[in-house]
């Protein structure tokens, strides 16, 4: 862990483009100065050429930056609360700085000059001897950080694993309905810069939910170092385990997955363990859930088992029992809510490679929960997956299986209602 140090002058100060780029390390891999775009969380929202993204450099280590247009800089140099923002020094924070609150992350792994956040310990994941599980666990679903600051802008050094551009969400303000500022970040190394109000405010950054990332330092422009502080963690912890349906690959942004929406609405601390294609009741994941503090655990089960035919009618019930038994070793009384697969019309009555239809998988999940409840686990609850996404909800699915961005909003409402009926969360 390193201590923050006072950085260079604010980006609106009269510093030449070359000096400014070199000071911040905003230099593309081919030696050229990259063009930039803007993410803004207050009413200065550059558009047109100011929001143009230029891919410069030829390697994955090339840096692209998000900065303000000249018009934005002039506006940000206004007097705010009796002080001028433009002339104040910047503050640089490492990801491990104690003034940053992290949620949804288990482990940081050094990767050259970067830190990679993991939702699950990579060593624990590797013990499952399933490379695809390790790859899915690398995705940053549900990982976010927060702090309180009066900075006029925030710049995050962020490297996105190779893929298409991915979304970062910036939430400005403490209320559940605080505005969300979406920023599309291209693959490779970037400096993601977001305008802030320039007055004391809570800021929460949600990392991309559908790819892995690596992190560098965070720079706060024009910030009063004495005002930077972590946010008090929310006391109610929720672990949400499942497939891509819990990871929410089609959500429009990481704070707009169904689980993030429920967590923000209820003031919960979310640990998203949605593992795309990899929800096969692995004991490595069960042990991670066992060892993580939680007030609520939800398990979305069955769809990956059906599609990949990883378990049979004989082994599925046993795997559910073993998975829950491991969790209960660390959470003997924590409410656990299980739901089976949502409706997927094209799969309902089609046998997979081991002879199970999706309807039969759903029945096996429900029957397993009912038997464990009958054996005395009264803190184990069942929600019918078809009550969350049912026969009439085909328009909410983008591909007959995964909820669309609009479907995520409906699913959030229905899941919140179901959980409210089963679990007290005061």
The per-residue pLDDT for range 333-350, each reduced to its tens digit, is: 999 999 999 999 999 999
Res. 78: pLDDT tops 80: no
The DSSP bridge partners found for residue 192 are 156
Whole-number Cα distances in Å, 385 to 41, 361, 407, 414, 415: 37, 11, 14, 11, 10
> Is the Cβ–Cβ distance between 133 and 284 less than 8 Å?
yes
- What pLDDT was estimated at residue 426? 52
DSSP letters spanning 132-166: HHHHHHTS-TT-EEEEEE--SEEEEEEEEPSSS-E
- What pLDDT was estimated at residue 4? 31
Residue 29 pLDDT class (50, 70, 90 cuts): very low
Q: Collect all residues with Cβ–Cβ distance below 8 Å to 3 and sequence separation of at least 6.
A: 97
- Go through the domains of the chain in sequence order and give each one's CATH number: 5-104+142-227 (2.60.120.260), 236-422 (3.40.50.1110)
- What pLDDT was estimated at residue 38? 37
> Is the Cβ–Cβ distance between 170 and 180 less than 8 Å?
yes
- What pLDDT was estimated at residue 130? 95
Distance CA 94, CA 111 (A): 14
Sheet containing 380-383, strands listed edge to edge, beginning at the edge strand earlier in sequence: 268-274, 236-242, 296-300, 336-339, 380-383
- CA dihedral 300→301→305→306, nearest 10 degrees, is -90
Res. 19: pLDDT tops 80: no
**Exposure of 319 by Cβ count < 10 A (0-12 exposed, 13-18 middle, 19+ buried)?**
buried
Residue 175 pLDDT class (50, 70, 90 cuts): confident
Residue 15 pLDDT class (50, 70, 90 cuts): very low
Structure tokens at 231: 């946010």
Structure tokens at 149: 């600051």
Residues in the chain: 426
**Exposure of 94 by Cβ count < 10 A (0-12 exposed, 13-18 middle, 19+ buried)?**
middle
The DSSP bridge partners found for residue 93 are 218
Distance CA 333, CA 69 (A): 54
> Is the Cβ–Cβ distance between 213 and 161 less than 8 Å?
yes
Number of other residues whose CB lies within 10 A of the CB of residue 160: 24
Res. 3: pLDDT tops 60: no
Read off the pLDDT of residues 189-246 as tens digits, 9 standing for 90 and up: 999 999 999 999 999 999 999 999 999 999 999 999 999 999 988 889 999 999 999 9
- What pLDDT was estimated at residue 287? 97
Residue 425 pLDDT class (50, 70, 90 cuts): low
First CA to last CA distance, the chain: 34
DSSP-based three-state secondary structure for 52: coil
Q: Which residue has the tokens 């029957």?
A: 367
Distance CA 207, CA 168 (A): 5
Residue 402 pLDDT class (50, 70, 90 cuts): very high
Q: When comparing pLDDT for 270 and 234, which is higher?
A: 270
> Is the Cβ–Cβ distance between 336 and 290 less than 8 Å?
no
The DSSP bridge partners found for residue 148 are 202, 229
Distance CA 221, CA 8 (A): 9
Residue 37 pLDDT class (50, 70, 90 cuts): very low
Read off the pLDDT of residues 408-423 as tens digits, 9 standing for 90 and up: 999 999 999 999 999 8
Residue 87 pLDDT class (50, 70, 90 cuts): low
Residue 52 pLDDT class (50, 70, 90 cuts): very low
Q: Collect all residues with Cβ–Cβ distance below 8 Å to 253 and sequence separation of at least 6.
A: 167, 168, 169, 180, 182, 206, 209
- What average pLDDT does the segment 269-281 reach? 97
Q: When comparing pLDDT for 48 and 355, which is higher?
A: 355
- What pLDDT was estimated at residue 264? 93
Range with lowest mean pLDDT among 20-29, 114-123, 124-133, 280-289: 20-29
Strands (DSSP E) contained in 49-198 are: 63-66, 79-80, 83-84, 89-93, 101-103, 107-111, 114-118, 144-149, 153-160, 166-172, 180-185, 188-195
Res. 382: pLDDT tops 50: yes
Q: Collect all residues with Cβ–Cβ distance below 8 Å to 70 and sequence separation of at least 6.
A: none
- What pLDDT was estimated at residue 174? 85
- The angle subtended at Cα 184 by Cα 179 and Cα 188, nearest 5°, is 140
Read off the pLDDT of residues 288-321 as tens digits, 9 standing for 90 and up: 999 999 999 999 999 999 999 999 999 999 999 9
- What pLDDT was estimated at residue 139? 95
Res. 10: pLDDT tops 50: no
């Amino acid at each position: 862990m390193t201590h923050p140090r006072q950085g260079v002058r604010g980006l609106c100060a009269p510093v030449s483009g070359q000096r400014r780029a070199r000071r911040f390390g905003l230099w593309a891999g081919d030696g050229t100065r990259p063009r930039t775009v803007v993410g803004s969380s207050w009413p200065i929202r550059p558009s047109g050429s100011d929001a143009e993204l230029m891919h410069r450099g030829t390697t994955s280590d090339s840096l692209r930056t998000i900065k303000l247009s000249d018009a934005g800089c002039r506006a940000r140099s206004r007097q705010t609360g009796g002080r001028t923002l433009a002339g104040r020094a910047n503050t640089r924070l490492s990801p491990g700085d104690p003034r940053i609150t992290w949620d949804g992350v288990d482990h940081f792994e050094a990767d050259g000059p970067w830190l990679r956040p993991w939702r699950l310990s990579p060593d624990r994941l590797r013990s499952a001897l399933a490379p695809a599980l390790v790859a899915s666990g690398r995705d940053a679903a549900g990982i976010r950080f927060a702090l309180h600051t009066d900075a006029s802008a925030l710049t995050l050094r962020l490297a996105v694993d190779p893929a298409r551009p991915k979304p970062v969400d910036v939430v400005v303000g403490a209320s559940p309905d605080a505005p969300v500022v979406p920023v599309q970040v291209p693959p490779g190394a970037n400096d993601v810069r977001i305008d802030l109000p320039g007055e004391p405010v809570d800021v929460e950054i949600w990392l991309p939910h559908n790819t892995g990332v690596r992190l560098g330092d965070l720079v706060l422009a024009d910030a009063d170092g004495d005002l930077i502080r972590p946010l008090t963690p929310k006391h109610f912890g929720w672990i949400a385990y499942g497939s891509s349906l819990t990871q929410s690959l089609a959500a429009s942004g990481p704070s707009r997955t169904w689980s993030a929406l429920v967590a923000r609405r209820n003031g919960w601390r979310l640990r998203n363990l949605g593992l795309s294609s990899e929800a096969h009741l692995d004991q490595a994941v069960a042990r991670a859930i066992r060892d993580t503090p939680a007030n609520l655990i939800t398990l979305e089960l069955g769809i990956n088992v059906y599609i990949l035919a990883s378990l049979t009618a004989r082994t599925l019930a046993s795997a559910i029992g073993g998975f829950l038994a491991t969790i209960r070793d660390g959470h003997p009384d924590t409410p656990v809510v299980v739901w089976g697969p949502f409706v997927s019309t094209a799969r309902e009555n089609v046998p997979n490679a081991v002879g199970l239809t999706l309807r039969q998988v759903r029945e096996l999940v429900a029957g397993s929960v009912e038997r464990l409840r009958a054996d005395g686990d009264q803190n184990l609850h069942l929600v019918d997956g078809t009550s969350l996404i049912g026969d009439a909800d085909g328009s909410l699915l983008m591909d007959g299986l995964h909820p669309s961005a609009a479907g995520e909003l409906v699913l959030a409402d229905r899941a919140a209602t179901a959980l409210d009926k089963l679990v007290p969360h005061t």
